[in-house]
Amino acid sequence: MKLLLHTCCAPCSVQCLETLRAEDIRPDLFWYNPNIHPYTEYKARRDTLAQFVADIGLNLLMEDEYGLRSFLAGLGQDYTNRCTFCYRLRLEKTASFAAARGYDCFSTTLLISPYQKHDLIREAAEGMAEKYGIPFFYRDFRPGFREGQKQARERGFYIQKYCGCIFSEEERYLGNRNNEG
């Protein structure tokens, strides 16, 4: 199976890759995360992932776009539904990329986080699968989240403190987790 795995960061990738390896699946990883801000955060996540992937001998394909302006422009004033927009944006690029390059299916490491909106991710991915004619490979990776975080710490990875968008960083500092949902 030729799987393209959208990857948000190295810490979230660790256990997803372990799970896939147990199924004899060796995916190519895909970096496309124009939602991550500020640039220092974007760069830390991207560079940690690139080093991890090089160390384990997998392929990393990148759409390396620090997209503050394009992300905010696409979002418009609809801050309430920003997570839905963000998932669709990244999963559309992943599905399109996978379909154009002959992959059998696509998935995402976003499915490991208990802090992400799992149902919205799955809905967005299934919509993009239909739009681009490529299957979405679904796995609920959440049971491996804590173990993956532990392994990431042991490896000395940069571990982020918020999902990536500028709004989640604001909420982190203000203690407000009252976003979409």
| Per-residue pLDDT at 78 | 84
Q: Which residues contact 89 (CB under 8 A, 6 or more apart)?
A: 34, 35, 71, 74
Residue 8 assigned as binding residue: yes
Residues of the chain with pLDDT under 50: 178-181
| Full DSSP string of the chain | --EEEE-S-HHHHHHHHHHHHHTT--PEEEE--TT--SHHHHHHHHHHHHHHHHHHT--EEE-----HHHHHHHHTT-GGGHHHHHHHHHHHHHHHHHHHTT-SEEEEGGGG-TTS-HHHHHHHHHHHHHHHT--B-----GGGHHHHHHHHHHHT----SS-SSHHHHHHHHHT------
Domains, the chain, in order of start with CATH, read: 3-174 (3.40.50.620)
Q: What is the pLDDT, as a whole number, of residue 178?
A: 47
Residue 181's pLDDT is what? Answer: 35
Known binding residue 165? Answer is no
Q: Is residue 83 marked as binding?
A: yes
What is the pTM (predicted TM-score) of this model? 0.93
